Amino acid sequence: MKLILSILFCLFFSLDSLYSQSGKRTFKQHEVGFLLGGSYYIGDLNPAKQFNLTQPAGGIFYRFTPNYRYAFRAGVNFGNIMGDDSQSDNADQLQRNLNFKSRITEFNVIAEFNFLEYRISNDKFKFTSYLFLGIDAFMFKPTAHYNNQWIDLQPLRTEGEDKRYKLTQMSIPFGIGVKMNVSKQVGIGFEWGPRKTFTDYLDDVSGTYPDPVLKPFKTEAAQTLSDRSKNAGSNINEQRGNPRTKDWYVFFGVTLSIKLNIKPIPCYSIF
């Protein structure tokens, strides 16, 4: 993932020089758009499988396009992520036997670079692939099933954390997509966008099994959900997760963009 991120950074910021000398025409286009697709997670309970346990997701965004090559957008996405050791073919994960699910809500600001000239309502420039890169703030809340209900994991401190991890974090969204016109006012597309986070607790799993003598659990639920393995109670100070890597989540899906007929206000009309 680090290699992919580095390549996208380089492409996004360096390919500009290849096209900026051509003096392409500029224009202003405003769009409102929608995302309908899925979300999934990469982390301790799913180290590598793309699209594993995908959940429904959606979003809404506003896009401003000042140039045939560039666009900027801001939006909100909603989705769910989950992980389950019982779905793995790894013996260590099957032994650990943890699972979780979490709601994800993100607010993002993203820049797009079009490989081809593109503009809704223009049949000459009606298709392009693109890269995108931005920043977002997201909220999550990992939960686990216990006694026929879903319980919030963060307050339980299942790894004996001295401080609760924050449920609002920053991440870096980036990815690839394609978009094309279907009418004078509408464009459709598809995009796939990983989110590089700076937390290892999307799944409430990061470090080692705590010592209940040194750091007693406050509730029975906390003790049970800390260690759900077949040999629960004998894993003290052994590895529960991998603290050397951070968690990721991904949004992907079909986008629908509607061009807004916004006319500029003449300067003289303001006075």
DSSP 75: E
What's the mean pLDDT in 2-31? Answer: 55
CA distances to 32, 53, 241 from 217, in Å: 49, 31, 19
Which domains does the chain show, CATH number per domain? 2-20+33-140+163-200+245-265 (2.40.160.20)
Quote the CA–CA distance of 10 and 160 in Å, as a whole number: 41
Q: Does 265 have pLDDT greater than 70? A: no
Contact predicate 174/191, CB 8 Å: no
For residue 151, the cross-strand partners are 144
Quote the CA–CA distance of 42 and 246 in Å, as a whole number: 9
Per residue in 34-92, pLDDT (tens digit) is 999 999 999 999 999 999 999 999 999 999 999 899 999 999 999 999 999 999 999 99
Helices (H), the chain: 2-14, 16-20, 91-96, 220-226
Per residue in 196-215, pLDDT (tens digit) is 999 999 999 999 999 999 98
The count of residues in the chain is: 271
Within 10 angstroms of residue 157's Cβ, the number of other Cβ atoms is: 19
Supply the pTM of this predicted model. Answer: 0.86
Per residue in 215-235, pLDDT (tens digit) is 899 999 999 999 999 898 899
Could you tell me the end-to-end alpha-carbon distance of the chain, in angstroms, rounded to an integer?
53
Contact predicate 138/106, CB 8 Å: yes
Q: Does 270 have pLDDT greater than 80? A: no
Instruction: Look at residue 163 and give its three-state secondary structure.
Output: coil
Strand 248-260 with 26-42, pairing: antiparallel
| pLDDT at 112 (0 to 100) | 97
| pLDDT at 143 (0 to 100) | 98
Q: How many helices (H) and strands (E) does the chain have?
A: 4, 10
Instruction: Look at residue 261 and give its three-state secondary structure.
Output: coil
With 0-12 CB in 10 A as exposed, 13-18 as middle and 19+ as buried, what is 244?
Answer: exposed
φ/ψ region of 160 (left if φ > 0, alpha if ψ in -120 to 50, else beta) reads left
Within 10 angstroms of residue 205's Cβ, the number of other Cβ atoms is: 24
- Which residue do the tokens 């080692």 mark? 208
